[in-house]
């Protein structure tokens, strides 16, 4: 045993260094992974308008994502109107409340804008994502968050490298339009901003001021 230790002394002394090096290399890869998944590249905002520019590229299909986005209002709601204009009650988890977020968009009708995500961010930086399954209502809730339901604009076809196209029989998306989204938060939350993104790390963040927040 002593002879083995003598002959392998150098390797044993270098073992901790090798372990530390491996750990640091792994940590670096983990940091790179999570950094690429996070939202840390904020779009420029001028006079309350976020100038969002990004690009989808999976190695096969590439298309731009670009729009000017502004926040119209953020307000708590307890009912949502049905398609007939009748207010329908909303059920949220115990201790929760529902916010209605209105956004205004200006974008080239040929640009793909479907598939975005939206969240409310409070003063402590906690993010509350818009998830339709978090509440129940018979009211009319939107299908899309960042495009009109009836004219969402061009959409890519899954598994195809063809240029995104309008669905058959569908008209072009207007160059300017409004959207509505709903977000559940705990009671007492005061929204500080609304965050919109398609593909991390790029995102748009719009501040909620006294004129738009009636919470």
Please give the model's pTM, rounded to 2 decimal places. 0.80
Residues 6+ apart with CB under 8 A from 183: 98, 99, 101, 118, 119, 120, 128, 129, 130
| CB distance 185 to 122 below 8 Å | yes
DSSP H/E element including 206: strand 202-207
pLDDT tens string, the chain, 215 residues long: the values are 555 445 545 444 444 444 333 433 444 444 444 445 689 999 999 999 999 999 999 999 999 999 999 999 999 999 999 999 999 999 999 999 999 999 999 999 999 999 999 999 999 999 999 998 899 999 999 999 999 999 999 999 888 899 999 999 999 999 999 999 999 999 999 999 999 999 999 999 999 984 454 44
Q: What is the CA radius of gyration of the chain?
A: 24
């Amino acid at each position: 045993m002593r002879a083995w230790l003598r002959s392998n002394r150098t390797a044993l002394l270098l073992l901790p260094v090798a372990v530390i090096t491996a750990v640091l290399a792994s940590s670096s890869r983990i940091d790179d992974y999570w950094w690429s998944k996070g939202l840390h590249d904020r779009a420029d905002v001028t006079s309350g308008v976020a100038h969002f520019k990004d690009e989808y590229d999976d190695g096969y299909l590439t298309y731009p994502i670009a729009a000017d986005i502004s926040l119209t209002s953020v307000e708590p709601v307890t009912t949502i109107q049905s398609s007939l204009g009748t207010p329908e009650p909303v059920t949220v988890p115990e201790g929760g409340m529902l916010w209605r977020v209105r956004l205004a968009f200006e974008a080239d009708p040929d640009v793909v804008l479907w598939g975005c995500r939206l969240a409310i961010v409070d003063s402590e930086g906690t993010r509350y994502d818009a998830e339709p399954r978090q509440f129940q209502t018979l009211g009319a809730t939107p299908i899309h968050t960042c495009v009109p339901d009836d004219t969402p604009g061009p959409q890519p076809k899954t598994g195809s490298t063809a240029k995104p196209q309008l669905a058959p029989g569908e008209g072009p998306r207007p160059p300017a339009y409004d959207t509505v989204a709903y977000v559940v938060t705990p009671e007492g939350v005061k929204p500080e901003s609304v965050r919109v993104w398609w593909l991390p790390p790029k995102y748009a963040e719009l501040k909620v001021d006294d004129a738009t927040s009636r919470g």
